[in-house]
C-alpha cells in the first residue's frame, strides 16, 4: 500500500515540476513577445511622425492615394 502511495507522490511531483517549468517558459516567451511588439510600435510611431512620410487613404475604387488636403 505504501509503495503505491510513494509512486503516486513521485508521479505527481514529476508532473508538477514539468507543468511549472512549462508555465515559466510560456510566461518568459510571452513577455519577450510583448517587448518586441512594443519596440515595433514605438518605431512605427517615430517613423510616422517624420515629415517625409506620406499617409495614404483608400479611395472608393480600392486603391491607395494621397488625400486631397487642398
DSSP classification of residue 53: -
For the CA atoms of 49, 51, 54, 57, the dihedral, rounded to the nearest 10 degrees, stands at 50
CA distance linking residue 43 with residue 37, whole number of Å: 10
For the CA atoms of 36, 40, 45, 48, the dihedral, rounded to the nearest 10 degrees, stands at 180
Q: In which element (H, E) is residue 29 found? A: helix 2-48
Residue 10 has pLDDT above 90, yes or no: yes
pLDDT band of 69, cuts 50, 70, 90: low
Angle at 33 between CA 30 and CA 37, to 5 degrees: 140
Mean residue pLDDT of the chain comes to 89
- List pLDDT tens digits, range 38-54: 999 999 999 888 888 88
Amino acid at each position: 500500500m505504501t509503495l503505491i502511495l510513494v509512486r503516486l507522490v513521485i508521479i505527481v511531483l514529476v508532473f508538477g515540476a514539468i507543468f511549472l517549468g512549462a508555465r515559466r517558459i510560456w510566461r518568459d516567451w510571452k513577455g519577450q513577445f510583448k517587448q518586441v511588439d512594443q519596440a515595433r510600435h514605438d518605431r512605427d510611431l517615430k517613423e510616422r511622425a517624420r515629415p517625409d512620410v506620406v499617409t495614404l487613404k483608400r479611395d472608393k475604387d480600392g486603391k491607395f492615394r494621397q488625400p486631397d488636403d487642398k
